[in-house]
Structure 1
Amino acid sequence: MLRTTVTALTGLTALTTAWATPAGATRTAEPWRPVIMAALGDSISAGFNACGWYLPCTSRSWSTGDHQSVRSQYVRLRAADAAVAGNNVNLAIPGSTSADLAGQVTRAVGRRADYVTVLIGAQDACVSEERLMTPVAVYERRVAEALALFRAGRPGGRVFVASIPDVKRLWQIGRKDPVARGFWAVGRICPTMLARPTSTSATDRARRDRVRARVADYNAALARVCAAYGPACRFDGNEVFRQRFTTGHLSKWDFFHPNAAGQKLIAEKTYAMMRDWLTEEETEPVPLLIP
């Protein structure tokens, strides 16, 4: 008899709880906190030439760098929550194009990254000839496939996608500098944009405009892919592309890659676009037992 009474009371408690729960109620989870962060992309995220001669300098990366002069996203996240401390990995590889992103994502999944940053595409446009630039549709498909791999491997992970910087801005601020022009010529740096930098011919002006347009189209593709991914992906809204950086933000080894100041600028602008994730509370529906 006692066992029957206890069982009945337990069932009544459950039913009472269900009746007291209004339709559409939610259970609040803890605010999002990344534990393992990974940088994906090309030489920019690798910190190339940010602290040495033609070498990656991951400590100065805008994404996962740990040098205080840059105040990367990682450093800012670490200050907000110690859980991410020491769990930063830089998988960006200089020279990478969109074709290489899937491989980097696979490695990030293997590292169990729950937050990744993506900045890739400059090398899809900075090729020897215009005809070799990656078609926009191909670029978009590659990025979408790479992010699909991340979703499949780390379904609870989040993605921040930074826009590609305006490569025409490089030409605008460096074309009158003989040192910059010398590095561009000797290193054959981004010929599609930076070849014949002093030329004012209609042909060269049109070429530069087309390359810039291609980068803008890549950025539009990034926005579409991120939107399709859902709320776990954040695009920077072309914040990096819009930056009016100066030669003071460029490495003096090539007048192309960001130096520490340039990396800091990217970190500052991109972190401002995602820091609300740290206070966002994830919610999930509470199932009702009684209609």
Structure 2
Amino acid sequence: MRASTPRLKQRITVSTRTGVVLLTTAAVLSTAGCFGSSDDPSRNGPSKGGKSRAEGPVWNTRPSSIASLGDSVTRGFDACSVLSDCPQVSWSTGTDVNSLAQRLRSGARSWNYAKTGAVMADLPGQIEAAVARKPQLVTLMIGANDACRNSVTAMTPTDEFRSTFASALTRLRREVPKTQVYVASVPDLKRLWSEGRKNVLGRQIWKLGICPSMLKDSDAMDAASTERRQQVDERVDDYNQALKDVCGKDPLCRYDGAVHKYRFTERELSKWDWFHPSKAGQQRLAAMAYRRITSP
């Protein structure tokens, strides 16, 4: 027994040193994030009720009540008769078309607070009306009239557009924290000009003052007219970026760039002004919104 004592002490010393090294290494790896810790929500597993502790608000793909906000497009302007609203064919809450409300849930409660001619500055008032209803979903399409002014200098500044939208969304979230928001991008006004100008009657109607910053002198292709249309087009892009940025900071807000990208055909434009969506165009907008809202 005495002869083996030094060898036993040597093994104990080596084992102790190895344990110290392993503990030190583990501490370093844990600090570096190599091992899961209680602060890593992805490692915590499901909490009570089966939901992850890090899980945010859950998007409801089947809201049962809708409040629509925005401008003439959401009011169905010029879709049924000349120079008049036709909310029953609205892409959002219409009853005479396969609207978003109809697609989501037959008989869903809905309210249309959009107003023809509305600009971003009118959004706070529309939200004020909507929050009283406590809808599960708010749809918004606004911004075209901010660009459709008498001149490019009269267009709403992008910073003002952005700040007004951010303030309005903050107010909505404060009043109805669980309400979801669908934000449609501003349609491509330059594309609408390009498509609508093919119609002789449409060009005459435009002279009444529809979106003059883009549609005035619709046949003119001189440098000044081309530059004017380009400035409007760029401002619309800026508005859409602002909508996307602000909406992206809210977990219950979904921005949809598909509306701006969509190439409306002549059949999908109003036969009275060749600029606003026709009944077919309204249904196309409804389809895009439905796809975005019901996506996982």
TM-score bracket, normalised by the shorter chain, equals 0.7 to 0.9
- CA-atom RMSD, angstroms? 1.6
8 Å contact 2:64–2:105 — kept in the other structure? no
Q: Once the two structures are superposed, what CA deviation does each residue of 1:21-48 show, in whole Å capped at 9, x if it has no partner? A: x944232589824232110000001111
Pair 1:158 & 2:185 matched: no
Work out the percentage of aligned pairs sharing the same amino acid: 42
How far apart are residue 86 of structure 1 and its match? 4.2
**Distance (whole Å) between structure 2 residues aligned to residue 153 and residue 24 of structure 1:** 33
Structure 1 residue ranges without an equivalent (≥5):
1-21, 80-84, 278-291
Distance 2:59 2:213 in 1: 45
Tell me what 1:246 maps to.
Answer: 265
- Which of these residues, 201, 207, 210, is aligned with residue 189 of structure 1? 210
Would the alpha carbon gap of residues 139 and 23 (structure 1) be closer, same or farther in structure 2, given more than 3 Å must change? same
Matched residues in 2 for 1:34 and 1:167: separation? 31
Secondary structure of 2:145's match? helix
Structure 1 counterpart of 2:224, from 169, 180, 203: 203
Aligned length: 246
In structure 2, the residue matched to 1:233 is: 253
Answer 1 or 2: higher relative contact order, Cα 8 Å, separation at least 6: 1
TM-score (norm 2): 0.80
Match of 1:125 in 2: 147
Amino acid at match of 1:274: I
Contact kept, 8 Å, 1:176 with 1:198, in 2: the verdict is no
- Separation in 1, partners of 2:282, 2:220: 30
| TM-score where L is the length of structure 1 | 0.81
Please give the per-residue CA displacement for 1:88-142, whole angstroms capped at 9, x wherever unaligned: 1101000000000011011000111121000000000001011100000100111
Whole-angstrom distance in 2 between the partners of 1:163 and 1:144 = 15
Q: In structure 1, what is the equivalent of residue 295 of structure 2?
A: 276
Q: 1:57: how far off?
A: 1.1
Q: Give yes or no for the alignment of 1:255 onto 2:274.
A: yes
Displacement of 1:156 after TM fit?
0.7
Letter in 2 for 1:149: R
Cross-structure match for 1:48 = 77
Cα deviation, residue 171, structure 1:
1.3
Q: Which runs of 4+ in 1 moved over 4 A?
A: 28-31
Letter in 2 for 1:72: S
